[in-house]
Chain A
């Protein structure tokens, strides 16, 4: 069991950040989900020993979070949310510096840092000054420094924030590749649902410092009603009227997506019959699962 905590409480002065969190994490990649200010970063900081919980117990990799912080940090890699670096250095010296601080011999750290930078896709700019790095490159650099010492457990705090789709895809692929290794566990904190859906199998949802939901993603998003998403072209109104007469609810979203809630017992193929009759093109037709986003909205309780 890599991470196990019970009844963790923490507050910044008057503001309660964590209010009794219990977690027992299984193997594999784990997503820590929640809106801004839900306490995700605080939780990670407690696991790393930056903050001492007001009350509660826990262990990371079998080491106690209160008394054995040094051992935890030896085997943990951390990618912080904030933009952080050391000015005046290039990527290779920075990464190997971080490796050395973790206890790698200097020559090994240098060798490894070249490998790691190559791995995260910074091989061409590894000799450039960090000040000149773009947001995307800094993100990769932070990932590189978090894996340079080959940790057993990696904490990633908002790993894709500020990235463009291409950069995001690449970072997520890297994370999936790392977490596919059986002996490395990854804990990703994010508010970007698709990221978590894509990389993790298990998710913990925090809201306002409390546990909102926890479990396997596949179990959490079970289908509860028969909802279809459609995009159509043609005479909309007539089509919508016909659908309504079938005793089903239709909702139109901001980006012109139709959400059709079919009453039980209605054959979805009837939609196509109506389409033929009303001469409407159906360009998109998907049976919707309760997506993680809906789940998220539901447990978080807004909208």
Chain B
């Protein structure tokens, strides 16, 4: 598959403050999650690839064309900014139709598209209320609506789930996945890991303005195979289970947890470990209550990469 968005040695400073440093990557079709703590450079990166700001070094191309001041191309891109700001006294409907007007469409088309977008984000009922009277979640949804209303091929969302309640979040996640199904390219930034996990496996980790990792979550997990993995098992007889593990070389450490019946096993080969586990339970008639991997989520990957 060819890359939709390409960056080459992208670097950006604000005065003498580093925003982004030496980012070279390719983003392909589908959903890509940009992850990093606040102030890591996510927004800077998204502003650069949407041509909001100009890089000090390096270049960005979207579908082979440079982005900076390349306006005709922007009709293929939808962007949902992070800041919670709107034009003063507009209603939701006016906001959408006004912005759609900038795509040089006929007014019937504008109305059709605005209606559709409002329906998608479920704001149709409130479309004639002033944006100022919207709740935080409604404003967030309206921002998403303006980024998708013109039916772009590339959708770039900066913290779209911020300030949404669980139901609103679920809806937006579902929406983003639907768009992926339609063959679009979606770039989503977030600092909340489970959100990204729920949407995609393709992630880019940004921290201190640098790319720490890029690729499939599992691929990244494999990359750091040298980092041993901890599995927590709660069962009826942890000490008996522990005996069975000790003979295997892929088990590095066996600990008993603070809670009753918890066994913590550290391994450097999950595949072998989990391949063995069910049969151990069955053979020894151990009753399992729980198996979890405390560090098998993005947070752990993240913590490991940024050295915590």
Contacts and interface: CB of A to CB of B under 8 A. Distances in A.
Interface stretch (A44-52, A162-170, A177-185): A162-170
A69 B308 CA distance: 47
Nearest to B36: A164
A12 B130 CA distance: 13
A285 B170 CA distance: 24
Interface in B249-295: 270-271, 274-275, 277-279, 281-282, 287-293
B181 interface: no
Given A36-B136, A285-B290, A276 B282 contact: yes
Given A36-B138, A165-B192, A300-B167, A283 B38 contact: no
A28 B82 CA distance: 35
Interface in B84-99: 84
Given A135-B38, A165-B299, A255-B198, A284 B293 contact: yes
B307 interface: no
A191 interface: yes
Nearest to A81: B136
Interface in A156-207: 158, 161-167, 191, 193
A134 B38 contact: yes
Contacts of B136: 36, 81, 158, 161
Contact of B281 (A34, A193, A269, A283): A269
A255 B197 contact: yes
A285 B38 contact: no
B213 interface: no
Contacts of A158: 136, 163
Most B CB atoms within 10 A — which of A81, A272, A276, A284? Answer: A272
Contacts of A285: 288, 290-292
B173 interface: yes
A112 B290 CA distance: 47
A35 B277 contact: no
Contacts, number: 112
Interface residues of B, number: 44
Contacts of A223: none
A163 B288 contact: no
A161 B168 contact: no
A281 B135 contact: no
A287 B133 CA distance: 43
A255 B170 CA distance: 12
Given A163-B191, A269-B288, A276 B270 contact: no
Contacts of B183: none
Contacts of A269: 281-282, 287-288
B277 A165 contact: no
A165 B165 contact: no
A226 to B, nearest CB: 12
Contacts of A163: 38, 191
Given A36-B165, A282-B274, A302-B167, A272 B173 contact: no
A136 B177 CA distance: 29
A53 to B, nearest CB: 20
B137 interface: yes
Contacts of B36: 164
Given A281-B275, A286-B291, 12 more contacts: A164-B192, A191-B164, A233-B274, A273-B282, A276-B278, A280-B278, A283-B270, A286-B290, A287-B289, A300-B167, A303-B167, A303-B170
18 contacts: A36-B164, A36-B168, A37-B137, A162-B38, A162-B159, A164-B37, A164-B38, A164-B192, A167-B38, A233-B274, A254-B177, A255-B197, A268-B288, A272-B278, A276-B282, A283-B293, A285-B292, A303-B167
Interface of B: 36-39, 84, 133, 135-138, 159, 162-168, 170, 173, 177, 191-193, 197-198, 270-271, 274-275, 277-279, 281-282, 287-293, 296, 299
